Amino acid sequence: MTSRDLGRLAWAAFALAVLFLAGSFAYAYVFGDAAVQAERVDRPWYGNWGLVVFAVLFFSAFVLAFLRSPRRREWRHLGLAEAYLVALFAEMFGLPLTIYLVGSVLGVNLGLGGLEGHLWAVLLDRLGFVPLAQGVALVMAISSVLIVFGLALMAAGWWQVWRAKGELVTTGLYRFVRHPQYIGFLLVIVGFLIQWPTLPTLALFPFLVVMYVRLARREERELAAHFGERWTAYAARTPMLFPGWSRTGR
């Protein structure tokens, strides 16, 4: 995949994201009130433990398949990621502990419908910026774009490494950053924090960031020892995590 192809892909993804946002807002403003009423009379949102298990297994498969194959000393990183996923989906579909705690501390009734679980949308509604339905549309649009884009980065980065068969990868996504798979994973995590924030996932997030940055740096030391000057030259011209940042160590 050439840089021109990647540029076209990026623009296509951006265009789709814009269309998704516009469509979400249009749907919310036309059908928002009906959606709220339907959600409130539908079956209970929580207590769906089968869905909790399915969601945890589905996203765990992405983590296990499209991040670097774990060695024994890397299981703690995957364990922390699993803890994040379990905490997230257990509250999203099982038992809303964060809603109970926040509601009791603030002395407000946040509700137990699926819409009320989007706490950023609830905040926008309580502050008078947008009605709940429009807030949910905004939160879902932004978070969905981040999650899908993050999963795509994880899969595409893994595919490039797999095709390289042990050689140093410096083209495609790796032309722009040295760790596109980890960027994708962190985008997924941020997307879920926007979509469905919980106290446990907010607490785990900084630890996940620190641990995966440290893991990336350790992998880079191993790559430097294996590839020598080829790695040094590549790292000197390619940012670590974010395009446009200074190169080595960033």
| pLDDT for residue 107 | 78
The DSSP annotation for 79-128 comes to: HHHHHHHHHHHIIIII--HHHHHHHHHHT----SSTTTT-HHHHHHHHTT
* pLDDT of 70 higher than 70: no
pTM: 0.77
| pLDDT for residue 61 | 84
Token pair of 35 as six digits: 């959606």
Neighbouring CB atoms inside 10 A of 98's CB total 20
Q: Which residue has the higher pLDDT, 48 or 139?
A: 139
The DSSP annotation for the chain comes to: --HHHHHHHHHHHHHHHHHHHHHHHHHHHHHHHHHHHHHHHSS-SS--HHHHHHHHHHHHHHHHHHSPPP-GGGHHHHHHHHHHHHHHHIIIII--HHHHHHHHHHT----SSTTTT-HHHHHHHHTTSS-HHHHHHHHHHHHHHHHHHHHHHHHHHHHHHHHHTTSPP-SGGGGT-S-HHHHHHHHHHHHHHHHS--HHHHHHHHHHHHHHHHHHHHHHHHHHHHHTHHHHHHHHHS-SSSTTS-STT-
| pLDDT for residue 206 | 93
Q: How far apart, in whole angstroms, are the C-alpha atoms of residue 138 and residue 238?
A: 34
Q: How far apart, in whole angstroms, are the C-alpha atoms of residue 13 and residue 59?
A: 21
| pLDDT for residue 109 | 77
Mean model confidence pLDDT for the chain: 79
What pLDDT band is residue 136 in, cutting at 50, 70 and 90?
very high
Are 147 and 55 spatial neighbours (Cβ–Cβ below 8 Å)?
no
User: Among 188, 181, 148, which residue's Cα sits nearest to residue 172?
Assistant: 181
The radius of gyration computed from the CA coordinates of the chain, to the nearest angstrom, equals: 20
What pLDDT band is residue 18 in, cutting at 50, 70 and 90?
very low
20-43 per-position pLDDT tens digit: 444 544 444 444 444 444 444 445
User: Among 154, 204, 159, which residue's Cα sits nearest to residue 182?
Assistant: 154
User: Among 192, 175, 245, which residue's Cα sits nearest to residue 58?
Assistant: 192
Distances (CA, A) of 204 to 65, 82, 115, 149: 22, 11, 24, 22
Q: Stretch 70-75: mean pLDDT, rounded?
A: 52
177-219 per-position pLDDT tens digit: 999 999 999 999 999 999 999 999 999 999 999 988 998 999 9
Q: For domain 3-237, which CATH number applies: 1.10.3470, 1.20.120, 1.10.8, 2.40.50?
A: 1.20.120
Residue spans per domain, the chain: 3-237
User: Among 115, 109, 103, 110, which residue's Cα sits nearest to residue 139?
Assistant: 115
